[in-house]
Amino acid sequence: MPISLQPQNMLGHWTDSTPRTCEFQHGSTLILVEYVDAYPMERKLAAAQQTINDAFAEVPCALTFASAVSAARHPAFWKHANRIALRQSLLNVFSIRYVPDSDQPIYDISWNPGFQPESSLAYSENWVEEMVEVHTPDDHEFIHVKRICKNQYQLLD
């Protein structure tokens, strides 16, 4: 079902700060469309409407990109986590955000709060079978990933 970014579908609309923000929700993901006088609300909503369905279709690709970024930041954690096949995603898209000066979305990604610890048997480097248990880290780091075009992303951190 297509996502509609029409004003009547807004959950919230904040106009007392700059940039002003229109808030929508699709599933558990917030959609934030920010605008300023130079890029008024109607123009920003129309521009966001052009890419929002593709942005949601590409969530798995954005999560893969963010996983690579996170693996570079937390190599020991990811080495441990990749020892077993996980049934859940470790990362989650919390919001898809459109900023005033760009028509491309930004994915705000962090650890999946619904991730339930998983465990399985794996072999150690010495070929000893051992139990591996994976939990998400306690930090609340966000990774901000900008969509450049179809399936191409840029890290904003």
Average pLDDT over residues 50-65: 98
Q: Is residue 91 part of a domain?
A: yes
Pick the closest to residue 32 from 17, 58, 50, 14 (CA basis): 14
Q: Which domain holds residue 27?
A: 7-155
Give the CB-side neighbour count of residue 67, counting CA atoms within 13 A: 16
Q: Is residue 69 part of a domain?
A: yes
Q: Is residue 22 part of a domain?
A: yes
Q: Is residue 2 part of a domain?
A: no
Q: How confident is the model at residue 138, as a pLDDT?
A: 86
Q: Is residue 72 part of a domain?
A: yes
Q: Is residue 1 part of a domain?
A: no
- Does the pTM surpass 0.75? The reply is yes
Q: What is the pLDDT of residues 130-156, one digit of tens each?
A: 888 998 888 889 999 999 999 999 999
Residues 6+ away with beta carbon under 8 Å from 133: 117, 118, 119
Is pLDDT at 123 greater than 90 in this prediction? no
Per the structure, the count of domains in the chain is: 1
Q: Where are the alpha helices (H) located in 74-145, listed in sequence order?
A: 75-81
